[in-house]
Chains A and B, each alone.
Chain A
Amino acid sequence: MKPDSTALPLGSDVIIIGGGFHGTSSAFHLSRRGAKVTLLEAEYCARHASGVNAGGVRTLGRHHAELPMARASLDLWHRLPELVGDDGSFVASGQLQIAETPQELDELRRNVAELNASGFTHEVMVDAQQAREIAPCLAHHVLGGTWVRDDGHAIPYRAVTAFRAAAQRLGAQFHEATPASSIERVGSEWRVTTPRGVFAAPWLVNAAGAWSGEFAAQAGDVVPMKPGGLMLMITQRVPHFIDPVLGATGRPLSFKQFANGTVLIGGGLHCSADVVRRHGEVDFKKLASSAKTVTDLFPHLIGINIVRAWAGVEAFMPDEIPVISLSRHAPQLVHAFGFSAHGFELGPIGGQIVAELVLDGHSTLPIEPFSVDRFAPTTVH
């Protein structure tokens, strides 16, 4: 196809592939620091995992490597209005992770001790009575848990839209319905081919979520990323009964009630994803076990209707922590993907790190664990 020259912005410093939270946040932070940004989105911004996730803003139970940036991101969540002019419907409701057996309680206790030893004090143990003060209608077998007071939840699509709108106000160019098919380094710039023409800029950010692996491979960074689906379901409105976001320890659960009364149920409910047709397939057999967990913990919800179930398409890494890294094989390329179903909370800081990598060459946060070549095979004998 002949490039449509009117659609091509001239003089961009950075092209971002992917209009999810991290791509959009990168566009915002880069623009804020004066870079000229063009973002290419295959469908529309926040179409997949970024816009249809559970909206948990959670530092509780994080992989320890993620904690410095997760806590830094939480600070940004708390001042989203001054950052992007909108709160993304963030509510600092707190998050509670419950233990249903003594073993689970020990597991949580050990983790909190380890966190304290590394200087993190945001997670605190609560006993059964305190847990029920936080969530009064919790089933009686719950023994206690961990609690993070300043965690919460937001509305994913609104949060991403807030970053997109803020980036656009700063001059970032967004091209939706513009899927990148290939990337190529030519001389001192990247060329990204799309049905609407070839876009070119010195820097490239690969934030294509479940579709990132292919672009990384084209740049020589082969990673064991796997796309997958993650399911959620939401109920009809019920009278208010719980404030914080609730997670379980021994079985998958993420659970919250929104202000309008609807209850969102999810938490690591994997399903298949079709990256070619770009959707996840809801598997009600697996949702059934989630419904069982919920009705075990909150028997009063047995007769409540499920209004909708859906699946988002996400990128998973074998070690379940993301890739946020300069390319090891290609110049002027930053990867930010593979958030493995817990990248939403990291959205606000993710773009800041990407901007630092592009503009400073390094990040002020410890991101070594997220390097793109950590999976490179060691010497084969």
Chain B
Amino acid sequence: MAFEASPSRTRIRMADTADIVIIGAGPAGMAAAIVARRHGATVVLLDEQPAAGGQIYRGIMSAPLQRLNVLGPDYEAGAELAREFALSGARHITGAAVWQVTGDRHVHYLRNGCVRSIRAGRVLLCTGAMERPFPMPGWTLPGVMTGGAAQILLKGSGMAPSQPVVLAGCGPLLYLLGWQYLRAGVPIAAIVDTTGRSDYRHALRHARGALAGWRYLKKGLGLMAALKSSGVPFYKGATDLHVLGDKRARGLGFVSGGRTRKVESPLILLHQGVVPNTQFSWSLRARHRWDESQLCWAPVTNEWGELDVAGIFVAGDSGGIGGARVAALQGELAGLAAVTQLGKLAAHTRDALAAPLRAEVRKNLFIRPFLDALYRPKRANRIPADRTVVCRCEEVTAGDIRGYVSLGCIGPNQVKSFGRCGMGPCQGRQCGLTVTEIIADARGVAPGETGYFRIRPPIKPITLGELANEA
């Protein structure tokens, strides 16, 4: 029945194809596109935003001078890459939400309410990072946002809060946002830093790497110095964080310097680092490993970023957190490998071009062990107490999950099937890592042994009507 020709189906759709389809227009995606075009490949780059830049360089080509001044020189550095990308001859499809990538390299996306597909010779996943979940009592209340989301508002539309905000957590982005808010004149009620003295001690073991990556270190110290000299209340080594309020956030409670403290504020911005966005690589059933130094899952790749799903590559933070410069370099490496596989570049040329890129990747990663140690999120902020909500879509608490484990649901998928945890619209983006670590902790095994949610398409939402149009 399914094979009969249907007379009503007169619409003939030409299959769209490209040598290389890149998902994500951040530094990795833009750099990969430039390299692939340089070697004669046809390139389609799909991205949800109206302009190139990704999250790190969001709005880079349209930001007014004053906003560039607020955001600082690192942000401006993205402009050069974006300009080169614009001239590369890659087809940049904006407003494209990719909702499925198949193992045979069909890329399905939604644009203006229409479902479209491209068949790709090679696929590069440059989907970047997402924020690590920061579950604590009250984190689901209105008035609580992630630091990253607040920064997106600042970059994309210059929106900043008018009331005093609390910034809590750890990691470079938190201090950067504080510094950017200072420059934008946003009042900061307090910075509540979970980094403590012992973290500095641990991080000092990696001091050699930090010195080798001195530019990063200098930048970070500069931000901290600016924040501290600004007179913003700065609390170090904060523990027992909890958002105050019943219906909406009223402030943040915590312990710092041996004292219980409260800072009143209607807007609490939480951040404790970023982790790879692995939704596509999981949905492709690629192999992943647990990275104990970055406390996250990362796809297993070869030296070019290729997954164990042939012809599909990962570059940038979606393969492991390395920052913008490393992402661009990895994008170039994956681009070189992809064009070589397509017969457009000789392997020895590829290797010759790759050698200096690899050296620069290494140089830029020297600082990582230091940063990973210094800003390692605290156990209590990753593996919360029983009453804290973990899956906010389905309102599943840490205690619920521990209960399911005791019933024999010993992996994230069993917990999901049994108690809906991770089944909601975010598909585990906001709870996946927490669930992994809670289960591992409850079972007394390494997180890598528990596995992760099976991630299902659509990776981005698509409506029944949009899909029905394809029938």
Cβ 8 A contact of B470, one of A284, A294, A307: A284
Supposing A289-B471, A291-B468 touch, asked if A303 and B463 sit within 8 A by C-beta, the answer is: yes
Of B108, B410, B424, B463, the residue contacting A306 (CB under 8 A) is: B463
Please provide the chain A residues from 62 to 108 with a CB less than 8 Å away from any CB of chain B in the complex.
none
* Interfacial chain B residues near A260, Cβ < 8 Å: 394, 420
Interface string of B455-466 (1 = CB under 8 A from A): 011100111110
- In the assembled complex, which residues on chain B have CB atoms less than 8 Å from the CB atom of A240? none
Determine which of A44, A45, A289, A308 lies in contact with B456 in the assembled complex, contact meaning CB atoms within 8 Å. Answer: A308
Question: Which single residue of chain B is at the shortest CB-CB distance from A283?
Answer: B102
Scan residues 282-302 of chain A and give those whose CB is less than 8 A from a CB of chain B. 282, 284-285, 287-289, 291-292, 294-295, 301-302
Q: Which residues of B contact A157 (CB under 8 A)?
A: 414, 417-418
Contact residue among B102, B418, B465, B471 (Cβ-Cβ distance under 8 Å from A302): B465
> Quick check: is A309 within 8 A (CB to CB) of the other chain?
yes
User: What A residues does B458 contact at CB under 8 A?
Assistant: 306, 308-309
Do residues A287 and B456 form an inter-chain contact, with CB atoms below 8 A? no
B467 pairs with A288, CB closer than 8 A? yes
Most A CB atoms within 10 A — which of B102, B418, B470, B471?
B471
Contact: B463 with A307, CB < 8 Å? no
Taking a contact as CB atoms under 8 Å apart, the answer to whether A288 and B418 are in contact is no
Residues of A near B102 (CB, < 8 A) are: 281
Residue A226 is within 8 A (CB to CB) of chain B in the complex: no
Q: Which residue of B lies closest to A310 (CB)?
A: B456
Q: Given the complex, which residues of A lie within 8 Å of B468, measured CB to CB?
A: 288, 291-292, 294-295, 302
Docked Cα-Cα span, A308 to B457, in Å, equals 6
Whether B409 sits at the interface, judged by CB under 8 Å, is yes
Which residue, A284, A285, A302, has most C-beta atoms of chain B within 10 A?
Answer: A284
CA of A214 to CA of B184, assembled, Å? 68
Q: Across the interface, do A158 and B467 meet the contact criterion of CB distance under 8 Å?
A: no
Q: Is the CB of A308 within 8 A of B427?
A: yes
Q: Is the CB of A52 within 8 A of B417?
A: yes
Is there an interface contact between B465 and A303, defined as CB atoms closer than 8 Å? yes
User: How long is the Cα–Cα vector from A352 to B409 in the complex, in angstroms?
Assistant: 25
In chain A between 325 and 348, which residues have their CB closer than 8 angstroms to a CB of chain B?
none
A148 at the interface (CB under 8 A from B): no
Considering only CB atoms, which chain A residue lies closest to B103 in the complex?
A: A281
Which of A279, A285, A291 has the most B CB atoms < 10 Å from its CB?
Answer: A291
Indicate if the CB atoms of A284 and B471 lie closer than 8 Å: no
Question: A307 contacts B100, CB within 8 Å?
Answer: no
Q: Hey, which chain B residues are within 8 Å of A285, CB to CB?
A: 470
Q: How far is the CA of A52 from the CA of B462 in the complex (A)?
A: 21
Q: Which of A46, A236, A279, A282 contacts B425 (CB 8 A)?
A: A236
Tell yes or no: A134 within 8 A of B by CB.
no
B285 contacts the other chain (Cβ, under 8 Å)?
Answer: yes
Chain B residues contacting A307 (CB-CB under 8 Å) are 423-425, 427, 461
Could you tell me if B409 and A284 are in contact, using CB atoms closer than 8 angstroms? no
Chain A residue nearest to B102 (CB atoms) is A281
CA–CA, A161 to B403, complex, Å?
A: 14
In the complex, what distance in Å separates the CA atom of A292 from the CA atom of B6? 16
Q: Smallest CB-CB separation from A287: which chain B residue?
A: B467
B87 at the binding interface (Cβ < 8 Å): no
The smallest C-beta distance from B281 to any residue of chain A, in angstroms, reads 15
Q: Which residues of B contact A287 (CB under 8 A)?
A: 467
Bound-state CA distance A332–B108 (Å) is 51
B467 and A46 within 8 A (CB): no
A282 to B455: give the CA distance in the assembly, Å.
Answer: 12
- CB–CB B408/A305 < 8 A: no
A260–B413 Cα distance when bound, in Å, is 20
Looking at the complex, which one of B100, B423, B461 makes contact with A305 (CB distance below 8 Å)? B461
**B414 with A44: CB separation less than 8 A:** yes
Closest Cβ of chain B: how far from A352's Cβ, in Å?
23
Q: Is A164 an interface residue (CB 8 A)?
A: yes
Q: A284-B457, A305-B425 are in contact. Are A235 and B464 (CB under 8 A)?
A: yes
Given contacts A284-B100, A308-B427, A310-B456, contact A292 B471 (CB under 8 A): yes
Interface residue B15 (Cβ < 8 Å from any Cβ of A): no
Tell me the nearest residue of chain A to B283, going by C-beta: A282
Instruction: List, in ascending order, chain A residues with CB within 8 A of B467's CB.
Output: 284, 287-288, 291, 306
5 A-B pairs with C-beta separation under 8 A = A44-B411, A157-B417, A161-B418, A295-B464, A306-B463
Q: A158-B417, A302-B468 given. 15 additional CB < 8 A pairs?
A: A44-B410, A44-B414, A156-B417, A161-B407, A165-B408, A236-B461, A277-B285, A282-B456, A294-B468, A295-B464, A295-B465, A301-B465, A303-B463, A308-B423, A308-B458
Complex A-B, nearest 5 residue pairs according to Cβ-Cβ distance, in ascending order:
A157-B417, A302-B465, A292-B471, A288-B470, A305-B461
Point out residues on A near B: beta carbons under 8 Å.
44-47, 51-52, 156-158, 161, 164-165, 168, 234-236, 260, 277, 279, 281-282, 284-285, 287-289, 291-292, 294-295, 301-310
